[in-house]
């Protein structure tokens, strides 16, 4: 009840972010229900139904990541002086954040269920002249218990992830004068990217005999291709903080001035916060470019079905929104530093120039990296 009251009195931008989480949850819930409909309509293809359900894990994971990022930037869950005296300590605020996340995801799941039942004709008759009847198994009874179980997965996972991400923790004090440690995931990330590309190459050259039935009609590529892309995405996510930290060092190279020094130090300090979502966005865009190259090469029209497009759009939108939310969290985290710089007379143009420098160096590094990985991923499939 307290979470609902906080949601009602929140800032419009905060409510907008929560509604975006609900919209993403509705998309994931619709995908899960369509997978259930496929299983009901094709009981003889149980293995294909399981693979379609596993494919839905990707948009579900992207939505969970976005929900956690929104929970981290929620001002109502930040510890403030005096809240502990009325019973709202860090642990209680973490529980409120998890409950708010669960409420938003549950709202999206309910919308997905109502829309799915409407398309099946279970509420007001078949819409669109029954165009979606075969896709949603409209002639078969829907197992309500299975549908509710699938729809409950996202709220439970998102609320648990938000609670774990925001749980109170005590960090060891760093020695005086010591920097923040360098992110240690870069070597492992590079190794995973190499392994993922190798698996994609091997699976792509092995032919399409063991096709992966994705939701839609894009069924002609082996399951190893998707497995290799997942490893590549995980590797880029692990390497993202290290690459971002290196970009900060690059900005400070060769006799930096005050602006370059400020921009580089901010990138190094916030490499863990924005590096991981930046790596995920790079992986998603590389996969999108590789899929576009494959579509242009030999797939032809109709290769991507509507549900495949919905899943890809969810992944792309959620990962991009997560990156923007992480950038907002980073800006909020250094608000006191920005105020201190302005108090001592730093011109606002210096802060804006430093922000442009950070964005420019990240684009200069991650854009060719994304394009290169996309070309390497698409080469064994198009060649």
Q: What is the pTM of this model?
A: 0.85
Rounded-to-integer distance, Cα 26 and Cα 23, Å: 5
Q: Are 95 and 77 in contact (CB under 8 A)?
A: no
Q: Are 51 and 212 in contact (CB under 8 A)?
A: yes
Question: What backbone torsions phi and psi does residue 211 show, to the nearest 5 degrees?
Answer: -70, 150
Beta partners for 211? 222
Cite the beta strand spans of 50-176 per DSSP E. none
Q: Are 75 and 13 in contact (CB under 8 A)?
A: no
Structure tokens at 131: 């165009």
The candidate with the shortest Cα–Cα distance to 206, out of 227, 187, 186, 185, is 227
Residue 298, pLDDT score:
52
* Angle formed at CA 292 by CA 288 and CA 296, multiple of 5 degrees: 175
Q: Long-range contacts for 332-339 (Cβ within 8 Å, ≥24 apart)?
A: 332/73, 333/270, 333/273, 334/266, 334/270
- Number of other residues whose CB lies within 10 A of the CB of residue 180: 13
Structure tokens at 80: 């403030």
Rounded-to-integer distance, Cα 278 and Cα 274, Å: 6
Residue 344, pLDDT score:
85
Question: What backbone torsions phi and psi does residue 83 show, to the nearest 5 degrees?
Answer: -70, -35
Rounded-to-integer distance, Cα 233 and Cα 370, Å: 11
Residue 83, pLDDT score:
56
pLDDT one digit per residue (tens) for the chain, 383 residues:
555 555 555 667 888 889 999 999 999 999 999 888 888 877 787 777 787 888 888 899 999 999 999 998 887 666 565 555 555 667 777 888 888 899 999 999 999 999 888 887 766 666 555 555 666 766 777 888 989 999 999 999 999 999 898 887 655 555 544 567 788 888 999 999 999 888 877 776 655 444 555 555 444 455 677 788 888 889 998 999 999 999 999 999 888 888 899 999 999 998 988 999 999 999 999 888 877 776 665 555 455 567 778 888 999 999 999 999 998 888 888 888 888 888 888 888 888 999 999 999 999 999 999 999 988 887 776 65
* Angle formed at CA 147 by CA 145 and CA 153, multiple of 5 degrees: 105
Which residues make Cβ contacts (< 8 Å) with residue 34, sequence separation at least 6?
A: 116, 135, 136, 215, 307
Q: Are 88 and 1 in contact (CB under 8 A)?
A: no
């Amino acid at each position: 009840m307290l979470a609902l009251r906080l949601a009602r009195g929140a800032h419009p931008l905060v409510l907008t972010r929560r509604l975006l989480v609900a919209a993403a949850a509705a998309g994931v819930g619709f995908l899960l229900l369509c997978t259930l409909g496929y299983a009901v309509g094709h009981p003889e293809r149980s293995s294909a139904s399981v693979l379609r359900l596993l494919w839905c894990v990707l948009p579900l994971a992207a939505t969970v990541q976005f929900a956690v990022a929104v929970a981290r930037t929620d001002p109502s869950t930040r510890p403030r002086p005096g809240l502990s005296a009325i019973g709202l300590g860090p642990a209680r605020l973490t529980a409120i954040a998890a409950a708010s996340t669960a409420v938003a995801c549950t709202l999206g799941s309910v919308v997905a269920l109502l829309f799915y039942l409407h398309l099946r004709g279970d509420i007001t008759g078949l819409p669109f002249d029954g165009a979606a009847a075969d896709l949603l198994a409209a002639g078969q009874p829907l197992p309500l218990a299975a549908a509710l179980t699938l729809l409950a997965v996202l709220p439970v996972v998102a609320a648990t992830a938000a609670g774990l991400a925001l749980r109170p923790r005590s960090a060891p004090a760093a020695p005086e004068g010591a920097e923040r440690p360098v992110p240690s995931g870069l070597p492992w990330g590079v190794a995973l990217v190499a392994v993922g590309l190798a698996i994609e190459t091997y699976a792509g050259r092995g032919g399409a005999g063991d096709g992966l039935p994705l939701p839609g009609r894009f069924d002609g590529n082996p399951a190893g291709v998707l497995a290799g892309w997942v490893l590549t995405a995980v590797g880029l996510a692990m390497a993202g903080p290290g690459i971002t930290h290196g970009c900060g060092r690059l900005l400070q190279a060769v006799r930096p001035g005050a602006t370059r020094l400020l921009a580089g130090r901010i990138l190094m300090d916030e490499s863990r916060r924005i590096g991981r979502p930046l790596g995920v966005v790079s992986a998603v865009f590389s996969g999108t470019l590789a899929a576009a190259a494959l579509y242009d090469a030999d797939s032809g029209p109709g290769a991507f079905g509507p549900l495949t497009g919905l899943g890809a759009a969810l992944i792309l939108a959620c990962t991009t929104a997560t990156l923007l939310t992480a950038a907002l969290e980073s800006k909020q985290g250094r608000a006191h530093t920005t105020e201190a710089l302005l108090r001592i007379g730093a011109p606002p143009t210096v802060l804006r120039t430093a922000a442009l420098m950070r964005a420019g160096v990240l684009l200069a590094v991650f854009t060719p990296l994304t394009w290169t990985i996309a070309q390497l991923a698409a080469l064994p499939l198009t060649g």
